[in-house]
Structure 1
Amino acid sequence: MQYRDRIKGLRRVPAAVLRAHPRNWRTHPPAQQAAMRGVLAEIGYADALLVRELADGTLQLIDGHLRAQTTPDAEVPVLVLDVNEQEAEQILLTHDPLAAMAGVDSEQLDDLISDAQFEEPEVEKMIAKVGTATQTAAAALAAAEEVPEKTISESYQVVVECDDEQEQQAVYEAMCKEGRRCRVLTLA
């Protein structure tokens, strides 16, 4: 299958001229904002923001809202995409979740964390949280794998749908009088 290259070009523009996408659904809590400031201070820009050019020539952000907000006076790298509004919304909806689906090689991550050195305290805090969260997730996964599989014995059941609670009670009582083992179940 051949894939389309949607990148029209790379530009460097003042972050302040970029228009936030009105349907951006990502929020940025204070800890993330602080970590972003730390990463930008220590490393700088190592990735381009994604934008599309609107009919009036302005650039609308698709990805990179926090970076643009963090450095409004900086000239930032942007990849200008050849996408329409619907495609921009598709990217906005899938870009971060797709990256979040990646798995973790715990050994590689542990090695990387132990070898990496940062001067910015907010970046150190973020990295510590990444390590802790990964260890917690790995422990939970290992524990789940150790739980023995339970077998459910074969049983035969009938579910009777009732119009209301009164009918449910009447059916329950009638079945109990016939000697049936019954339970009342209400689904919302």
Structure 2
Amino acid sequence: MKIRDRVKELRRVRAGDLKPHPKNWRTHSRHQQSVLRGVLKEVGMAGALLARELPDGTLQLVDGHLRAETTPSAVVPVLVLDLSDEEAEKVLLTHDPLASLAGVDASRLGELLGRVETESQAVGEMLAKLAREIEDDPSKADPPDVVIKPCYQVVVEVEGETQQQEIYERMRAEGHRCRVLTL
């Protein structure tokens, strides 16, 4: 599969100069805003916002609306993408949900949770919630090794229910464990 590189350039732009996408469907709770502020304070800006250049030269956000709203006077890294209106809408629609499809390696997550420290109450609450979710939902943990014992079966196709019943009874009489199966 040939994959097109849609990144034209990396620019550093004042966040307040970026235009929000009018079809941005994401909302951001006060808690999420607090968590972002905590991470920005402790770590800084660790990722680029995504934008496309409009015909008038302005940049329209495709991803990173909350970061731009949170730091309007800051100069932020922006990946300028070569996207049409339709492509920008597709990225806007799929970028975050695609990331949410990722699985969880519970042992690695537990290790990170045990090592990382934060001064931010909001970040700490988010990490505690993440730890509780893993503890409360075993399906998020690494699946246990499954041992499947060898099992040998014979499927016999018959002409009808009467013949099925006869073969079933004969096999049971010979000591075989049997089940009747109708497809």
* TM-score of the alignment, normalized to the shorter chain, above 0.5: yes
The SS at the match of 1:90 is helix
Q: What corresponds to 1:20 in structure 2?
A: 20
Aligned residues: 142
Q: Is the partner of 1:66 in helix, strand or coil?
A: helix
The two structures, once aligned, show a CA RMSD in angstroms of: 1.5
- Residue 103 of structure 2: aligned partner: 103
* 1:165-176 matches, cutoff 5 A: none
Give 2:42's aligned residue.
42
Task: Give the direction of change, closer, same or farther, for the CA distance of 1:141–1:124 in structure 2 (3 Å limit).
Answer: closer
Q: Kindly state the Cα deviation for residue 139 of structure 1 after the two structures are TM-superposed.
A: 5.6
Deviation of 1:132 (Å): 1.2
Q: CA deviation at 1:140?
A: 8.1
Gaps of 5+ in 1: 143-188
> Which residues of structure 2 form unaligned runs of 5+?
143-183
Indicate the percent of aligned positions where both proteins have the same amino acid. Answer: 55
Q: What is the one-letter code of the residue matched to 2:88?
A: A
Q: 1:137 Cα shift?
A: 2.6
SS in 2 for 1:69: helix
Rate the CA distance shift 1:136–1:4 in 2: closer, same or farther, 3 A: same
* 1:59 counterpart letter in structure 2: L
Deviations 1:29-67 (A, max 9, x none): 111010000000110000000000000011000000000
Residue identity matched to 1:65: H
Q: How many angstroms does 1:138 deviate by?
A: 2.2
Paired AA for residue 35 in structure 2: A
Instruction: String of CA shifts for 1:53-103, please: whole Å, max 9, x gaps.
Output: 000011000000000011011000000000011000000000000000000
CA distance in 1, matches of 2:120, 2:35: 8
Are 1:91 and 2:91 matched, yes or no? yes
Aligned residue number for residue 72 of structure 1:
72
Q: Distance in 2 between matches of 1:4 and 1:36?
A: 31
Quick one: distance in 1 between partners of 2:79 and 2:108? 30
SS at match of 2:20: coil
Letter in 1 for 2:102: A
How far 1:135 sits from its partner (Å)? 2.3
Report deviation, 1:130: 1.3
* DSSP-derived class of the 1:96 partner: helix
**Counterparts of 1:141 and 1:44, CA distance in 2:** 30
Length-normalised TM-score, structure 1: 0.73
1:94-133 residue CA offsets vs partner (Å, 9 max, x unmatched)? 0000000000011110110001111122111111111112
